[in-house]
Chain A
């Protein structure tokens, strides 16, 4: 079946360091991948999305590239800030005639001073 794997449950980093949050997926459909960010007690909000192979997409300093050959869509940022502390979800959208989303378990990013 369709699935998304995020290997890190918690990532703790000092402010100013780079980060990469891993996301791999499995599907037999044409993949459309999303990254959502969820701050404490808030709704998930879209951070990035892509369905184009090998094209980097960027938003708010975060970037990711969909690699269909390795079924990956890792999230990166060159310098994390305290305000980046949040829960990050990778999601796969499959089109079966209707759009269905499958979410990973999430990675909590904690940025310390």
Chain B
């Protein structure tokens, strides 16, 4: 079974530039999560979806960040105008509805904003 895939693996931007991250969850997983993980810190939830619906985006900086999952499979996270404080690893994870199921994480995208 293929795991969660993400691209790109690395991105380096100047402040003010835009960037998009792509995530392909494990097949059959209805729930998809995006996390921001600053260096040496725990993952912090940005947004999560069940199928194509946003369940919680309360931690997403709405003025610059957006996320979509239009067909309930792949998802894209976009930063419209990056700031140095956005420097972090962006992790995508997916899970199924099974009560005993765990989240499976992708390898992440390491973003550096100069």
Q: Do A and B bind each other?
A: yes
CA distance A104 to B42 in the complex (A): 6
Is A77 part of the contact surface with B, judged by Cβ < 8 Å? Answer: no
CA distance A89 to B93 in the complex (A): 15
As a 0/1 sequence over residues 29 to 71 of chain B, the CB contacts with chain A under 8 angstroms (1 = contact) are 0010101000011111100101000011000000000000000
Is A19 part of the contact surface with B, judged by Cβ < 8 Å? Answer: no
CA distance A99 to B31 in the complex (A): 8
Q: Hey, which chain B residues are within 8 Å of A4, CB to CB? A: 42
The main secondary structure of chain A at its interface with chain B is strand
Q: Given A98-B31, A99-B31, A102-B45, is A49 in contact with B40 using a C-beta cutoff of 8 Å?
A: no
Q: Which of A1-19 contact B (CB under 8 A)?
A: 4, 6
Q: Which A residues lie at the B interface, using CB under 8 A? A: 4, 6, 34, 36, 42-46, 49, 87, 89, 98-106, 108
